[in-house]
Amino acid sequence: MSNHDNDLTELFDKKGNLIGALITAELWTKVKPHVTQFLPKAEPDERPEPISAWRQLKEYWDFPYPIDRDVTCDLCENTTENWETDEPRKFRLVSANLGGLVSFKCSKCQARITKRHFKDEITTQCTAFVDEKDNNYEAKYKFTNKL
């Protein structure tokens, strides 16, 4: 292994062939915008829809209004009267719970549509999909060994 300014560590096999490199997080933040265009785009594996949680919510439904199956994306105007029966699906169920919180992902623009079912009303929020993570919300941990 060779080291350049402690930011880059080149990795060699036992025959001396360069096989890779390790870079520090600080250097990665500097080169990432220039390098990512050359990296293959991996499609993230989508989790299966939590249909059992949706069924459980329907089973224990105790709101004074009927179950709503309509979903609308305010960003791209994708809409459906019944997301369960659409073929192909216009919206994917992302989460559901007994408290009445149900979230969908728009298949057109990837926005998140969140429906909050309260006793007397339903509120809906549409949040645009963001491809890049905001580093201001990234957790940082400092480990100390105090025994």
- Contact of 58 with 66, CB cutoff 8 Å: no
Domain limits of the chain? 8-37, 51-127
The stretch 119-139 carries a mean pLDDT of 79
Instruction: List the structure tokens of 119.
Output: 């006793």
Sign of the dihedral through C-alpha 47, 52, 54, 56: negative
Confidence band of 38 (pLDDT split at 50, 70, 90) = confident
pLDDT at 36: 83
Percent of all residues in the chain with a pLDDT value above 90, rounded to a whole number: 52
Nearest-CA neighbor of 103 among 111, 66, 81, 77? 111
pLDDT at 111 over 70: yes
Alpha-carbon distance of 106 to 111, in angstroms, equals: 5
pLDDT at 83 over 90: yes
The stretch 24-30 carries a mean pLDDT of 90
- Chain centroid to Cα 80, Å, comes to 22
> 31-35, 81-85, 121-125, 138-142: which range is least confident on average?
138-142
- Contact of 93 with 84, CB cutoff 8 Å: no
pLDDT at 130: 81
